[in-house]
Amino acid sequence: MKTDENIDFDIQNNVALIGINRPKKLNALSRNMFSKIHNYVAEIDQNRSVRAVIIHSKAARAFGVGADISDWASLAPLEMWRDWVRFGHRIIRDIEELLPPVIAVTNGFTFGGSLELALAADIRIAEKGSQYAFPEVSVGTIPGWMGTQKALQLIGPSKLKKLIFCAQPISADKASAIGLVDDVVPQNKGLPHALDLAEQICKSSPVAVSLAKQIVNGLTANQPVTALESIASGLAAQTEDGHEGKTSFLEKRAPVFKGF
């Protein structure tokens, strides 16, 4: 196991585990912590043995209370955009675009940027007693790490507006009822439940699982053409004609395509 900047990382039985471990600050996300998560996501992306990813908290009271205000409160507008918001967007996208499915295990307080991190996952597990909120308007800002886009797809505009406008937490059961989380389990059972799900995922074809993920992501993001193009391009490259095209180019000769 690796531990760096309050982020733990391990790979067990083809499952990558990213553990957020800053209990004294209720897992408030500093820029350095987010950077470490990004580094581990990049490592996962290069490791074809990983078939599932779990993001979880190692703090008993919180998955996370959002971005660490002390990291961004003094930033000028341009710095805020470049060094915080855009940086967050890049990490969220990289998590979403991982080939293996990502499971987020949420417990306790799951607020603001930490909720946005959970929304980047494919599956969200909630422990009983968890609370979910977008509290940003109460401190004069709005969700900045693509949370509005992701939550909109899950719960629709009216419920999302209420969640943002009121800035009040909702329970795990309420979050499940409106579609913000998928499974609700007893306290301290979130990680075992996620490991069980990951084990089931690992029994399936990693290629088929990844393709299914790309298709669904493309459809929910209203980018079906992009998803289809990416998959078709990859498949075409693996056909006999695809191999012939690459081989003939390297051998500096005209290709002899066989077709279907």
Rounded distance between C-alpha atoms, residue 114 and residue 166, angstroms? 18
Dmax (CA) of the chain: 67
Rg of the chain, C-alpha, whole Å = 20
Q: Is 116 a catalytic residue?
A: yes
For residue 246, give the 3-state DSSP assignment.
helix
CA distances from 80 to 76, 112, 136 (A): 6, 16, 15
From the list 130, 148, 136, the residue with the least C-alpha distance to 112 is: 136
From the list 129, 22, 108, the residue with the least C-alpha distance to 68 is: 22
Rounded distance between C-alpha atoms, residue 192 and residue 185, angstroms? 10
Q: Is 136 a catalytic residue?
A: yes
Catalytic residue among 79, 127, 136, 229: 136
The two tokens of residue 159 are 């419920």
- Burial (0-12, 13-18, 19+ Cβ within 10 Å), 215: middle
Catalytic residue among 43, 116, 199, 240: 116
The two tokens of residue 84 are 């915080």
Rounded distance between C-alpha atoms, residue 243 and residue 39, angstroms? 33
Residues involved in catalysis:
116, 136
